[in-house]
């Protein structure tokens, strides 16, 4: 499975003491075969060093958020994987399902308190500062390929002008979504496909629009009636909610496919978190102006994974940079 990794913004360009572009730092081979970060030359001015420390602090904060989100995903994965194995091994009686329902309820409450994942268990660290609220159009079928042409008009709450799309015979779902997105993107909303239905994804400022009914009119093909009707978009439930409800009813077996989809989703998100974390660390290793000589006492040796080696280097740089900042403040 190939995943599109999320890429953070580029690290700011480094400045030398004269205000020019500093030479890029690199890794030097030591006599014992290990590596250490090398300095690009003379030390930076006080503003330059403070800028370095700010960039390093942002990188460390970003890595910490990604790690915390991965920890929450791992916690959820362990419990759901255990449930999946139990369901495959043998059927569970009503008492056992009730016990699982209680565990899922506690897990859901804990995840909400942590605030690291959204309702779909997507890490908020992957969304940046923009939360996403998902609503599904369950009562209309805009994405199925049909042999009839239909003109559909939509009017969202608070909007003065309706938007119209035309779905031609045999039209692909991607083309329908593209038409919708041309209209809703300026509102802070995007249209996606989710299990054959249109899912509208809103930013915080646009969430209120989708919480109100949408006035839709079609020709009785994809929209149920040939006259204007109010369609209520359904907010996406907690990913654990169907499992919790099924456990309380003693019907967990009916949710096996949903459970597998959630497990797959967690795996995908975990891979994306790891990719973004490695990217940040590699970017800092490539572009961070290496610190002065004391830092060479903490080499990037061959122990541990490349990720652990980069973390060790960043921690060492953070400690020295903090001392340098204090010293510079005293000199100013």
Summarised one tens digit per residue, pLDDT across range 167-187 is 999 999 999 999 999 999 999
Please, what's the b/e burial string for 14-49 (b: 16 or more CB within 10 A of its CB; e: otherwise)?
bbbeeeeebeebebeeeeeeebbbebbeebbebebb
Contacts (Cβ under 8 Å, ≥6 apart) of 99: none
Tokens of 132: 């996403």
d(CA 175, CA 29): 53
Summarised one tens digit per residue, pLDDT across range 22-64 is 333 444 444 555 444 444 334 555 666 667 667 777 888 888 8
d(CA 154, CA 233): 12
pLDDT recorded at residue 319: 55
Ordered DSSP codes for 251-294? -GGGGHHHHHHHHHHHHHHHHHHHHHHHHHHHHHHHHSPP--GG
pLDDT recorded at residue 18: 33
- The residues pairing with 189 across neighbouring beta strands, listed in sequence order, are 202
pLDDT recorded at residue 76: 93
Q: What share of the chain has pLDDT > 70, as a percent?
A: 69
d(CA 213, CA 230): 6
Tokens of 56: 């390093």
Kindly give the parts of the chain with pLDDT less than 70.
Answer: 1-50, 52-53, 127-131, 287-332
pLDDT recorded at residue 46: 60
Residue 128, φ and ψ in degrees, nearest 5 = 70, -140
Contact 143, 193 (CB under 8 A): yes
d(CA 151, CA 157): 20
Cα-based torsion angle of the residue sequence 258, 264, 270, 274 in order, rounded to the nearest 10 degrees: -160
pLDDT recorded at residue 54: 74
d(CA 330, CA 328): 5
Would strands 133-137 and 197-202 be described as parallel, antiparallel, or unpaired?
Answer: antiparallel
d(CA 117, CA 108): 10
Would strands 150-155 and 234-235 be described as parallel, antiparallel, or unpaired?
Answer: unpaired
Contact 199, 205 (CB under 8 A): no
């Amino acid at each position: 499975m190939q995943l599109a990794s999320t890429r953070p913004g580029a690290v700011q360009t480094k400045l030398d003491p004269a205000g020019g572009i500093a030479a890029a730092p690199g890794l030097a081979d030591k006599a014992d075969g290990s590596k250490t970060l090398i300095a690009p030359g003379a030390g930076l001015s006080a503003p330059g060093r403070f800028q370095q420390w700010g960039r390093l602090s942002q990188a460390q904060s970003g890595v910490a958020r990604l790690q915390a989100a991965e920890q929450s995903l791992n916690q959820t994965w362990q419990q759901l994987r255990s449930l999946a194995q139990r369901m495959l091994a043998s059927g569970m009686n009503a008492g056992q399902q009730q016990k699982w329902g209680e565990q899922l309820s506690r897990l859901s409450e804990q995840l909400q308190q942590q605030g690291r994942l959204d309702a779909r268990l997507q890490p908020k660290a992957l969304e940046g500062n923009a939360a996403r609220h998902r609503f599904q159009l369950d009562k209309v079928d805009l994405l199925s390929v049909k042999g009839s042409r239909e003109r559909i008009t939509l009017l969202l709450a608070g909007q003065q002008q309706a938007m119209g799309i035309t779905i031609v015979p045999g039209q692909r779902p991607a083309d329908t979504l593209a038409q919708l997105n041309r209209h809703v993107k300026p509102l802070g909303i995007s249209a996606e496909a989710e299990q054959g239905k249109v899912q509208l994804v809103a930013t915080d400022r646009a969430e209120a629009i989708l919480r109100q009914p949408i006035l839709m009119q079609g020709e009785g093909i994809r929209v149920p009636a040939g006259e204007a009707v109010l369609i209520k978009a359904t907010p996406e439930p907690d990913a654990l909610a169907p499992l919790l409800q099924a456990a309380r009813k003693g019907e967990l077996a009916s949710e096996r496919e949903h459970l597998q989809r959630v497990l797959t989703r967690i795996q995908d998100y975990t891979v994306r978190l790891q990719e973004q974390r490695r990217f940040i660390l590699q970017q800092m290793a490539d572009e961070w102006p290496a610190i002065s000589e004391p830092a060479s006492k903490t080499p990037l040796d061959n122990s541990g994974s490349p990720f652990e080696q980069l973390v060790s280097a960043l921690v060492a740089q953070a400690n020295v940079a903090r001392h340098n900042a204090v010293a510079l403040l005293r000199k100013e």
